[in-house]
Amino acid sequence: MQQIPALGLGTFRLKDQQVIDSVRNGLELGYRHIDTAQIYGNEAEVGQAIAESGVPRSELFVTTKVWTDNLGSDKLIPSLKESLRKLRLDQVDLTLIHWPSPNDEIQVAEYMAALMEAKAAGLTDKIGVSNFTNAHLQQAMEVVGADQIATHQVEIHPFLQNRKVVEFAQEHGIHLTAYMPLAYGKVISDTVIQGIAAGHAANPAQVALAWALQQGFAVIPSSTKRANLESNLGALNLTLSEQDMASIAKLERGERLANPGFAPKWD
C-alpha cells in the first residue's frame, strides 16, 4: 500500500490546457502525487495528462475530493465513479471529503459510511477528509476509526499554522496534508522567510515547503511555471534549523485564505 508522497502537485484553479501543461511538466520533473477535486472542473484534463505521460500507474498517487453536492449516501459512489471515468482510472489512491456538509445538512456519519463503502468496492485505496473542524474529525473517527483516515487536508502555511487542528489530528495519529502551503505566493515576499532562504542558498518557497515537510505534513503546492515546479522539489533536500523553525512559527497571524461562505465554524 503506497504511502502519501510528501510533495505533491496541486491543481486548484488550474483549467483546460493550463492544468494539462502543469501536470505534464510535473510528471516529467518527477512528481508522482497529483491532487485534484470534483469541484475543480479539471479531472478530465488531469486524466488526459496522466494518460499521455506514459508514467506507470503503479508509480502514481492520485487524490480527488468529493464535493458537497455529492455527500448523500445515494450520490457519493456514483459521483466517484464519474470522477474515475474522467480521470481514466479504475481506482484513485485517495478520496477525501472536500468539505463537511454545509450547516451539517448531511451528517458526517452518512458520508463517511458511504466513503468506506467506496473503499470496500475498490474505487479508492485510501480515504480521508479535508477542511474538517476538530468536532467533524471526531465524528469521522467514531464512524470509520482513526486508522482509516489516511490524511486530513487543511490550509497550512506560515501565516495560518492551524495549530488546534494540527494538534488534534496528531494526538489521534492522523497524518496532515497542507494545502496552499505558499499562501498564494505571499511567503515569497516575507522578509523573515527571505532571510532564512538567503542563509541556506534557497528560495522562500523552498523554505516554506521545508517548514511544513519537517513537521511531517505532505504539501501540495501548485504552479503553472515549470521552473517553479522544479524549484519546489528542492524543498525535499532542505533542512531548516530549530532557530529557523522557531522564527517561522512566529509568523502565525491567522491569515485564512480559503474561507467560503459555506465553511464550518473554524477551530
Q: How is the chain split into domains, by residue range?
A: 9-183+216-228
Look up cell 522564527; give the residue: 247
What is 9-183+216-228's CATH number, 3.20.20.100, 2.70.210.12, 1.20.1250.20, 3.20.20.140? 3.20.20.100
What's the pLDDT at 95?
98
Beta strands in 4-114 (DSSP E): 9-10, 33-35, 61-66, 92-97
**Residue among 123, 23, 29 nearest 83 (CA):** 123
Q: What is the pLDDT of residue 45?
A: 98
Residues identified as active-site: 40
CA–CA dist 34, 105 (Å, integer): 30
Whether residue 15 contacts residue 43, with contact meaning beta carbons closer than 8 Å, is answered with: no
| pLDDT on residue 98 | 98
Q: What pLDDT sits at residue 183?
A: 97
- In three-state secondary structure terms, 126 is strand
pLDDT tens across the length of the chain (267 residues): 579 999 999 999 999 999 999 999 999 999 999 999 999 999 999 999 999 999 999 999 999 999 999 999 999 999 999 999 999 999 999 999 999 999 999 999 999 999 999 999 999 999 999 999 999 999 999 999 999 999 999 999 999 999 999 999 999 999 999 999 999 999 999 999 999 999 999 999 999 999 999 999 999 999 999 999 999 999 999 999 999 999 999 999 999 999 999 999 999
